[in-house]
Copies of this chain bind each other. A is one copy, B any other.
Amino acid sequence: MDLGENELDAARLGAAFDRVVRLLRRSDLPGDLSQVAASTLYTLVHHGPSRLTALATAEHVTQPAMTQMIGRLEAAGLVSRGADPDDGRAVVVEVTDAGRELSARRRAARAVVLAELAERLPAPDLEALQNAVAALEHLAALGDQPPAP
């Protein structure tokens, strides 16, 4: 592999991500949100009301897929759809209180699974993870394409 001093072993990191994510799926209860639905809800909670096309772009799914997913989320009472007063074509999607609660509950459930696993890690590993939390957030933010409102 021949990694330099400050070079990241992306292959190992990527594989580790895959495996951790597989673990986190354990926290997914029956009737829970799909990955993309959860991610969309998270986006709406943190970026506020957004256009349907902007959401589709941000989540990397097609416009028809987003139309249908928003339809399901709306039927479940997790989001609401409104018109854009400035553009008659546009649909503005907003998270409801129920959507906000579900999103928070999902996040908490994943945290519990993660915390249980982390308890069994040796102290140096725990410390390394703790020190990497901010870096991971920065990494995630690098790829963020916030849904332009």
Contacts and interface: CB of A to CB of B under 8 A. Distances in A.
Interface residues of A, number: 62
Interface stretch (A47-55, A77-85, A86-94, A113-121): A113-121
Nearest to A136: B16
Copies in the complex: 2
Given A14-B113, A25-B60, 5 more contacts: A6-B126, A10-B110, A14-B24, A14-B110, A118-B139
Interface in A53-78: 59-60
A131 to B, nearest CB: 5
A50 to B, nearest CB: 15
B128 A12 contact: no
Nearest to A8: B118
B20 A139 contact: yes
Main secondary structure of the interface of A (DSSP, over half): helix
A145 to B, nearest CB: 10
A11 B114 CA distance: 8
Contacts of A14: 24, 107, 110-111, 113-114
Given A20-B140, A107-B15, A115 B10 contact: yes
